[in-house]
Amino acid sequence: MSRVVIIYDTKFGNTEKVARALAEGMKNQQVDVDCLKIDEVDTNELDDYDFLAIGGPTHIFGLSKPMKDFLQKLENINVSGKRAFAFDTKYKSRFSGSAGKKIEKKLKKLRMSIVKSSVSAIVKGKEGPLEDVAEETFKQIGIDIATSLQ
């Protein structure tokens, strides 16, 4: 059975909510999922997982500082060939940038296998709330990814 870790950064709690919705969808399909805040992750333990989902808030058109630091740490371990999915939270505007796209680009560079293009959950303001559909959408993505892993 695949072991999945969902790793998220969050400043105001919105990205945590979508990360947990993603985890809930996967758990519904009996997938073994850990959902960890970025500062709880020991990169040496990532070897135990077959699938990494990584998401964070969009800050200044791109990555938050903790996410930048984390992705840099990933360079020191071998994640090549593991499956992955990136996500973010952001404003609705198409000029707002997307942390998820940048995370995905980095994961590709690390030779991870992207199972689905990055998805953005939309926040209505800097501190949230999320758009009404966001958590339901991520739960469904969790179900779909988990089904594809079986």
- Could you list the residues that contact ligand FMN (CB under 6 A)? 10-15, 57-61, 89-91, 96-97, 123, 126, 128
Q: How far is the CB of 53 from ligand FMN (least distance, A)?
A: 15
Residue closer to ligand FMN, measured from CB, 1 or 60: 60
Give the number of other Cβ atoms within 10 Å of residue 3's Cβ. 13
CB of 87 to ligand FMN, least distance (A): 11
Q: Hey, which bits of the chain come out as E strands?
A: 3-8, 32-37, 51-57, 83-90, 113-122
100, containing H or E segment: helix 99-109
Q: What is the rounded CA–CA span in Å between residue 16 and residue 45?
A: 21
We find the least distance from the C-beta atom of residue 125 to ligand FMN, in angstroms, to be: 8
Residues whose CB falls within 8 Å of the CB of residue 92, separated by 6 or more in sequence, listed in order: 122, 131
**Based on C-alpha coordinates, what's the Rg of the chain?**
14
Cis peptide before 129, with omega less than 30 degrees from 0? yes
* CB of residue 82 to ligand FMN, shortest distance in Å: 24
Structure tokens at 73: 């740490």
Nearer to ligand FMN, 2 or 12 (CB): 12
**Closest distance of CB 64 from ligand FMN, Å:** 8
